[in-house]
Amino acid sequence: MASIIRQRGTAEFSLDRIAGVSPWAQQVRRAIELVAAHQSSVLILGPSGTGKELIARAIHAVGKRSGKPFIPVDCAVTTGTLFASHMFGHVKGSFTGATSSTLGCFRAADGGTIFLDEIGEMELELQAKLLRVLQQRTVVPVGSHAEVPVDVRVVAATNRELGREVADGRFREDLFYRLNVVTLRTQPLRDRPEDVPVLAARYLAELAARHGMPLCTLSPSAVEVLQAYAWPGNVRELENVLERAVMFSSGDEIDPDALTGFMAAGAGPDAAAGGAAAAAAHDLSPLAQAAARGILSTTAVPGVFRVEPVVKGPPTPPSVAPPDPSAGRGTEPVVDQGTAPTGSDWPTLADVERLHLERTLAATMHNKSLAAKLLGIDRSVLRRKLQRFGLDGTGKTGPEPDEAADEARDG
């Protein structure tokens, strides 16, 4: 396992994995090179999904410990009585079920780097145990009294502001200063929109290389949509949106239609601004529009929502009397004249087609690529039909080009 981690540390998670052209991306790459040359503890702060673990792996890969193990630890789930055994190891027979000795994360990372992810979630009692290890550079396995020296570099990360956590009594001050020797901060994706095309292009290439998905590119208008979005889930959300867009895209180029319905409501460029601008952005979001039209519900496809719009259905068809068995062969069914259809209440074929188009658009959150797939037609055909019925957003109606030609020929 350690050999696998070493290979990944030097290849996949090297410095060039920190993609981007923004000032922050350039600055953090320089900072990683400087920090990696020393052995001081590093604290990485920033929102979830901004690449904190990626930075930690880059520090390990660029530094002198790259040939040794990189051991990540999720502090949010390493709690209670399992903490000491998981972190410091145990000896055989130390408790029920301990059929063999284990190293624990610190001893497994000896000579390398231990990454304490979500350190802000650790319980106060466990923080005290961790502090002693960082001060003494030794661990005591469960069931033993012998101190075992460890040589590890500690990199910690959290999405909490530890200074505020210390002031509120939820994080030990002495542990904070022990970890906070060098601090690196990540930046939300909404604050560096120039990095979105770079990150998107890299992830689309990875989808094709690793998962066998089609190699897609972004149209210029799709890039504009992605750059204008606020990305509350940051890079992790961007990756999810792109993967779903590739799945539902009808061609090799992703356009804005393939992105519709995949991003959170109210998270547009003005979502964080507050006041009337944020409210307006929320009201104009796809989910808000859909909720206003009918009943919003999820579907089996993640990120795709279904809306049952309140639309007027076709009138009840007229009752038709069955043939009279006593009559001779060839007798036709008799239409009840009291409910005979008239030109004003019987839906035309165009009415039925428009109704089906409206329902399909509502069910796919106006994702025209997905709507064309559901209808079994090409997107160009769907575009003409939407234009004909005034459903393309322009408010204009008119015959499809082919029909217009037919009408001209008919004179």
Domain boundaries, the chain: 2-187, 191-284, 291-314+346-411
Classified as helix, coil or strand, 297 is strand
- Would you tell me how many other CB atoms lie within 10 Å of the CB of residue 384? 18
Residue 111 amino acid letter: G
**pTM of the prediction?**
0.64
CATH classification code of 291-314+346-411: 1.10.10.60
* H/E stretch holding 114: strand 113-117
- Would you tell me how many other CB atoms lie within 10 Å of the CB of residue 321? 9
Same-fold call for 2-187 versus 191-284: no
118: left (phi over 0), alpha (psi -120 to 50) or beta: left
Distance CA 42, CA 45 (A): 10
Q: What is the mean pLDDT of each run of 10 residues along the chain (411 residues)?
A: 44 70 94 93 94 94 93 86 83 77 91 95 89 92 89 96 93 94 95 95 90 88 92 92 85 82 54 37 43 47 47 46 52 48 69 85 81 84 86 66 49 46
Q: What does the block give as tokens for 120?
A: 């802000």
Closest CA to 316 of 289, 284, 291, 347: 347
pLDDT at 407: 46
Q: What does the block give as tokens for 153?
A: 């570099």
DSSP string, 14-46: SGGGS---SHHHHHHHHHHHHHHTS---EEEE-
- Would you tell me how many other CB atoms lie within 10 Å of the CB of residue 335? 13
Phi, psi angle pair for 142, to nearest 5°: -65, 130
CATH superfamily of 2-187: P-loop containing nucleotide triphosphate hydrolases (3.40.50.300)
pLDDT at 264: 58
Cα 44 to chain centroid distance, Å, stands at 22
Topology (CATH) of 191-284: Helicase, Ruva Protein; domain 3 (1.10.8)
CB 131 within 8 A of CB 175: yes
Q: Residue 382 burial (CB < 10 Å; 0-12/13-18/19+)?
A: buried
CB 86 within 8 A of CB 105: yes
pLDDT at 395: 61
